[in-house]
Amino acid sequence: MSEDPLSNFGCLDELTQVIYQSVYKFVVLSTVSNNKWNIHVGLAGCEGRWWRGCWTEDDIRQIFGSKSSDKLLESFAEKLAEVFIQGELCISDWSAEKGAKIKFTLGPASKKPMHVDLVEMSPEEGAAFATGVFIDIALQAQSRKCRLYPSSSTEYRAVQDTFATTSRTTSHTVAGPSKPKEPSPEPERPSKRSETSASAKKETKKSSEVEAAQAEIKALKSQLQTARRGPSPAQKPAPVRPHKGASLANPNKKARKYQAIEFGSDDE
């Protein structure tokens, strides 16, 4: 066994899980630091309390002896982490009484479950520990715009940025360094003066079209009124004079000639 057997327990660092047991709900935090594997258990609800426990090098030597290899210890730690992640956990000998001796148990249904003895923390110690956890959460949230929970869009953007960075690195390694492209000139934006003149031209064109339409309507009205009144005397056609010898009744026909009838006198 190496001088620091807990160096093989890195997979148990920064893990958290929730335990539902009877009507109680617990939160468990697992960390590895200061040559210890630390367990903190918090009770949810109005009777919130905290417990802590740990494994030291001596605890590990008691389980495996002093001649265990690092590979064996690492495999054991990975199995504990897998059990932790799958939620195969419980609080053994649970009692809500103050000073009760309870244990944090991994794999309670296995042939050889692992236990960590727990000691209740004072309210001040529990508050200090919870504050430290929230500080770590707040520091990590700064990388996602201070959001408490990472959203799906934030995770997708992070993956996309990582993929883009990897692609650029790969292409740079394969193709070699290339000359930086000169930025293309941006299209000139129309000035406010040109925009004003263009709008003025549009308004002038619209007004001229309106005036032309009004003039046309006025002319049509005038023509309509003239048609209703009838043609003026100047526009009336001059009467056609009948030609000489034409019939007065029908100017196109010649007038009939009547011969006078003479009557004889009474003397004859």
State residue 35's pLDDT score.
Answer: 87
Domain membership of residue 140 (yes or no) is: yes
Q: Which helix (H) or strand (E) holds 64?
A: helix 57-64
Q: Are residues 97 and 154 in the same domain?
A: no
Q: Are residues 12 and 112 in the same domain?
A: yes
Q: Are residues 106 and 129 in the same domain?
A: no
Domain membership of residue 202 (yes or no) is: no
> Which residues span the domain enclosing 87?
5-121
Across the 268 residues of the chain, what is the mean pLDDT of every consecutive 10-residue run? 80 96 96 92 94 94 83 94 97 92 96 96 96 95 91 58 57 51 55 59 71 80 72 56 57 58 56
Find all residues with CB under 8 Å of 50, minimum gap 6, and list them.
40, 41, 42, 43, 120, 121, 125, 126, 129, 130
Burial class (CB in 10 A: 0-12, 13-18, 19+), 244: exposed
Domain membership of residue 52 (yes or no) is: yes
Domain membership of residue 162 (yes or no) is: yes
* 3-state SS class at 53: strand
State residue 146's pLDDT score.
Answer: 93
Of the residues 121, 136, 160, the one at which a domain ends = 121
Domain membership of residue 137 (yes or no) is: yes
Of the residues 144, 170, 196, the one at which a domain ends = 170
Q: Are residues 30 and 107 in the same domain?
A: yes
Q: Are residues 43 and 138 in the same domain?
A: no
Contact indicator for 77, 8 with CB cutoff of 8 Å: yes
Q: Are residues 116 and 142 in the same domain?
A: no
State residue 69's pLDDT score.
Answer: 87
3-state helix, strand, coil in the chain (%, to 5): 45, 20, 35
State residue 2's pLDDT score.
Answer: 63
Q: What is the CATH number of the domain that holds 112?
A: 2.170.210
Q: Are residues 56 and 158 in the same domain?
A: no
Q: Are residues 37 and 115 in the same domain?
A: yes
- How many structural domains are present in the chain? 2
Of the residues 90, 121, 152, the one at which a domain ends = 121
Q: Are residues 127 and 113 in the same domain?
A: no
Residue of 160, 128, 134, 162 whose CA lies nearest to 148: 134
Q: Are residues 136 and 43 in the same domain?
A: no
Domain membership of residue 239 (yes or no) is: no
State residue 47's pLDDT score.
Answer: 86
Q: Are residues 72 and 104 in the same domain?
A: yes
Domain membership of residue 265 (yes or no) is: no
State residue 103's pLDDT score.
Answer: 97
Planar angle of CA 75, 77, 82, nearest 5 degrees: 95
Contact indicator for 132, 50 with CB cutoff of 8 Å: no
Domain membership of residue 148 (yes or no) is: yes
Report d(CA 12, CA 31) in Å as an integer.
6
Q: Which two tokens stand for residue 207?
A: 């007004």
Q: Are residues 39 and 70 in the same domain?
A: yes
